[in-house]
Homo-oligomer: A and B are copies of this chain.
Amino acid sequence: MNSKSLIIDIATTLFQQKGYIGVGLNEILKACNLSKGSFYHHFPNGKEALLIACLQSMEEAIMTDIEGIFERYPTTEEATNAMISKLIVNFETEGTITGYTFSSIVSEMASLSDPVRNACAQLYQKMQDIYSNKLVEDGLSQDTANSIALMMTASIEGGMMLCLTQNATAPLSVIAKNLSYILKEF
């Protein structure tokens, strides 16, 4: 793997775990076994440019993943359960949350950098669109689908936050149960 991709890959994980401000360039580069010079060769615009590259990389990874799940299952309800189960397994094995979330980045950077804020907004929107499209397939109206898709995005994101604070996976399980209930309603 070339150095640039390596930097993005490792930085993505670290940013997700510790947030943007919480990770220094030195830490990233040490994990990559690369030097400052190499970094600034590939990212002449510095750390924030790296963050945006990481967000784009996350977008690809998350989209592929979620799209896969949502194609594999016939209904939104089943796909949602599968997705949350995957998050729970991930949390149990990794100890931290490494997939689907970037809340630390949002809360740190949303008010500081518009480019970063927009990149995050786009990522949430794309996830929501997948949910929404599947809900329309399920037979819901576009408006209802959008509304429920937003509820899904928000509650899953909030659920991960609760898991983090409690250091447990129970909150996400409860969210899955509740979303199932809601999705069966329609």
Contact = CB atoms under 8 A, between A and B. Distances in A.
A124 interface: yes
Interface in A122-167: 124, 147-148, 150-151, 153-159, 161-162, 164-167
Contacts of A96: 111
A106 interface: yes
A112 B48 CA distance: 23
Given A104-B104, A153-B162, A164-B111, A148 B178 contact: yes
A56 interface: no
Nearest to A21: B21
What is the count of identical protomers in the complex?
2
A17 B111 contact: yes
B19 A108 contact: yes
A63 interface: no
Contact of A155 (B104, B147, B154): B154
Interface string A15-30: 0011101100000000
Chain A, interface size category, equals 35 or more
Contacts of A112: 18, 22
Interface stretch (A5-13, A36-44, A169-177): A169-177
Given A103-B103, A166-B121, A154 B171 contact: yes
A107 interface: yes
A182 interface: yes
6 contacts: A18-B111, A21-B108, A22-B108, A103-B107, A150-B178, A157-B157
